[in-house]
Structure 1
Amino acid sequence: MADRQLDQFLMEATASDDCSGFTLGPDPLYGLYTSWCHVTGAVPYLEEVFWEGMQGRLSPEPNGLRMKGPAAADYILASYPASV
C-alpha cells in the first residue's frame, strides 16, 4: 500500500525537470508529502518509512523535482505564514 501512496504523491505533487539541475531537498520533499497528505486526507507515513519507500523512486541529487498543485500551495503557505 505504501508503494501506491508514494507513487500517487509523486504524480500529483511533483513535476520532473531533469534539465534544470534543480533539487527538491529532503526537508522540503517530506514537507510537501505531509502537505499532500493533509490536502488529500491520506495518513502520512513516519519520515523513516517515507524515505525507505522513496528509495528507487528518486534519482540521486539533483533529482530534478519541482513542487506542483494544491500540496505545493499548502506547503508554501505553511512554511511562510507571514506572507499570507
Structure 2
Amino acid sequence: MADRHFDQFLQESTIHELDSDSKLERDQLYGLYTSWCCVTGELPVREAAFWAAMKSRLVSRHNNGLRMKGAAAADYILSSYPVLV
C-alpha cells in the first residue's frame, strides 16, 4: 500500500487539535478510515496494517489530538448513528 494512501486519509479526514478534549479513540479513527475508503473508493487495509501505518506517522491509538472533518466524517457519523438518517 502506498504511503500516499494514509497521508491522503489523514489530510482529508482529520484535523490536529491538541487543545481539544474531544479526540478520536482507536475504534473511531479506524472507523473514520473505513468511511474515508468508502467515500473515496479506496480499498481499506486490515486494522493491524492501518495501525502500523499510523505508528510510522506518529499517530497514537489514544490521545492523538485528532478530530474528524470532511465527507468521511459525515459518512462515519451517519453510519454510527443510523437513527439520524
Tell me if TM exceeds 0.5. yes
Aligned counterpart, 1:63: 64
**Paired residues, number:** 84
Alignment RMSD (CA, Å): 1.5
Give matches, 1:1-84, under 5 Å. 1-57=1-57, 58-59=59-60, 61-84=62-85
Name stretches of at least 5 consecutive residues in structure 1 with no aligned partner: none
Name stretches of at least 5 consecutive residues in structure 2 with no aligned partner: none
Mean Cα displacement is larger for which, 67-76 or 12-21? 12-21
- What is the letter of the counterpart of residue 52 of structure 2? E
Which consecutive aligned stretches of 4+ in structure 1 deviate over 6 angstroms post-superposition?
none
SS at match of 1:19: coil
Deviations 1:13-61 (CA, angstroms, capped at 9, x unpaired): 0011112244210100000000000000001001111111111321574
SS at match of 1:55: helix
Q: What is the TM-score with the length of structure 1 in the denominator? A: 0.90
SS at match of 2:23: coil
